[in-house]
Structure formats: C-alpha cells, structure tokens
Amino acid sequence: MDVVPYLSAVILISTIATIMLALISYAAFKLRDKRKPKQDVDAPIFFHRFELDGSPRADVSALNGMDAEASLDAEGAHAEP
C-alpha cells in the first residue's frame, strides 16, 4: 500500500483550506474596517480604558507628554505636575 498519494492529498487540502480561511479573514477585516465610525479622537473606538479605584493610570500621563515613571512619587501615588 502506497501512502504518498494520501499524504499529498492531505497537504493539498490543507493548503487550499488555509488560503480560503485567509481570504475569509481578510474579507471580515475589511467589512469591520468599513463599519468603524470615522472620528478624529485618538481614544479607542471599540474598547474602553479600565481604571482601578477611580485613579487614573500611569500611562495616561505618558499620553499627555509626561514621563509615566516621573509622574509617580515614592509611594506609587500620582504626583502633582
């Protein structure tokens, strides 16, 4: 019994399936990109920032042009600018 034709068929089918999944994924990406609302804001559109205990996160100060590590004092609390 020769297994080479079976193995080549498995490789061919898996290659075709991979290409088809890639095309479907690309089409889904393009459809999602079309539905995205057009905004000039740099804030995330689909996700919302999570804050613990109501205090702003350290990376927010980095977005404002400050060094995130320099904005924390010795206890880890936010220092006043």
Q: Which of 28-37, 49-58, 67-76 has the lowest mean pLDDT?
A: 67-76
Q: Is the pLDDT of residue 21 over 50?
A: yes
58 burial via Cβ count (<10 Å: 0-12, 13-18, 19+): middle
pLDDT above 70 as % of the chain? 48
Q: Is the pLDDT of residue 22 over 80?
A: yes
Q: Which of 25-29, 45-49, 64-68 has the lowest mean pLDDT?
A: 64-68
Task: Count the neighbouring beta carbons within 10 Å of the beta carbon of residue 61.
Answer: 19
In the three-class reduction of DSSP (H, G, I as helix; E, B as strand; rest coil), residue 78 is classed as strand
CA atoms in the 13 A half-sphere facing the CB of 32: 8
- Measured CA to CA, the distance from residue 8 to residue 77 in angstroms comes to 62
Question: Please, are residues 44 and 22 in contact by the beta-carbon 8 Å criterion?
Answer: no
Question: At 54, is the pLDDT very low, low, confident or very high (cuts 50, 70, 90)?
Answer: low
